[in-house]
Copies of this chain bind each other. A is one copy, B any other.
Amino acid sequence: MFRKILIANRGEIAVRIIRACRELGIKSIAVFSDVDRNSLHVRLADEAYPIGPAPSRESYLCIDKLMHVARRAGCDALHPGYGFLAENPALPRACSDAALTFIGPTAEAMEALGSKTAGRSLARGVDVPTVPGTNEPIENPEEARALAQRMGFPVLLKAVAGGGGKGMRLVSNDEEFLPAFRDASSEAMNAFGNPSVFLEKYLEKPRHIEVQILADSHGRVVSLGERECSVQRRHQKVIEEAPSPIMTPELRKRMGDAAVRIARAGGYVNAGTVEFLVDTHYNYYFLEMNTRLQVEHPVTEQVTGLDLVKLQIAIAAGHRLPFAWESITPRGHAMEVRLYAEDPENNFFPSPGKIISRRAPSGPGIRLDEGVYSGWIVPMDYDPLLAKLIAWGNSREETIARLRRALEEYSVTGIKTNTALFRRILAEPDFLRSEIHTKWLDELLKRPHTAPDSNSRSADAAAIAAALWHVSHESSTAPNEPEKDSRWKMDGRNRQLDRTP
């Protein structure tokens, strides 16, 4: 087993990996950019080293800096988490050059499966259906536009290196095509350092269902069952659950087998996720393979009882999978909501800033994977995911009841969060019946939303609290002080923090 693992990431996933390392008795080595010195993953890690300024291209995306830290700290393995370099084949290559075990697939498997276009042709090779579209990155936008016209709108533009909805655009008519192409390319360039995008037919009311697989280095590949991720905002997952409410044992078997075939065909090793679209007739189409740990891995952990991060580490250390697929018996129902620093009332704009107060839920059936704390300043430079709140219950109904209860307990002030969005979704009849698809949430958000009833007692309490707050603050801090909360001001506060005492 490894002695020291370098965690090439930040935020909640870095914390998640630190916890796995600690439970295995492995030292966890964190890295941090200038604005992350006070971040939770730095506080919790065994060691932590600076890797440069805030912009990720100058810190978390710098392979040479990571290798330098690995050498200095004497690491024998590296975990990439998700995002940043997690799907960049250059990282596993650099690791093997540095005699560092990469906790994930080989660079070759990443290339064979990670790129959407390569993955799709490989899937076809093992008789897994895919969504119609261009198989290659778009060289000539005009040609692609012509193809889109032949396939018929709507179509999707997707970053080849993509993930998480970044560099993705839905194009519903001819006029939108070229501007959408420009946006997608530049976003893809910014997010992944690669502007290539490709074209794909857009299915009506599809569900997003993905299969979690594990492959060890001795040829065993198993499926841990599916996750339902159809609740998405602009192609970004916001709620995930397992099992999928529409799943049947037969369909689960077929999709699981398909996922395993694809992984085998690509010579895949370690944890991976095979994403499918499932249409209203329960036909499934291979979408892409994520050659890394998923944000939503906890829902699979809660129903299987397995610790995917520890299994990733064991697989990388050459261990054999300690179980056969047959032995995995998912139990109950798990659901995750992604809590973001963003403002649902204002077009979901990111809302960085200082966390003034925080109340965390706990108790039966509740798990919180968090990367923040009260007093911490959420930087503007990275993905605004604050925490993942996961509930488990014996039934989907109990799970939703617990999630609602926990959301009532959860509170972060000082920044905007999307908790109100989840309060709304978890009360929607469509969602409770699980009559959802990948566009369901976007459509819901177009409908008018009634604000909290200001006649209720809670509005009375709020009014009283506002007056009490005014009493206690009119004398002290200027009420419009936060107005000057510019980024520079925040950094100033950061330094202030450093300076204390």
Contacts and interface: CB of A to CB of B under 8 A. Distances in A.
A118 B170 CA distance: 74
A39 to B, nearest CB: 15
Interface stretch (A14-22, A377-385, A480-488): A14-22
Nearest to A399: B23
Interface residues of A, number: 41
Contact of A367 (B22, B364, B408, B471): B364
Contacts of A362: 360, 362, 367-370
Interface stretch (A145-153, A250-258, A301-309): A301-309
Given A401-B24, A405-B23, A501 B366 contact: no
Contacts of A401: 23-25
Contact of A472 (B307, B469, B500): B500
A5 to B, nearest CB: 15
Contacts of A369: 362-364
Interface string A357-401: 000101111111110000000000000000000000010001001
Interface in A295-341: 298, 301, 305-307, 331-332
A204 interface: no
Contact of A364 (B307, B363, B404, B409): B307
B360 A402 contact: no
Contacts of A25: 401
A363 B15 contact: yes
Contacts of A501: 468-469, 471-473
Nearest to A306: B394
Nearest to A397: B23
A247 interface: no
Interface in A90-124: none
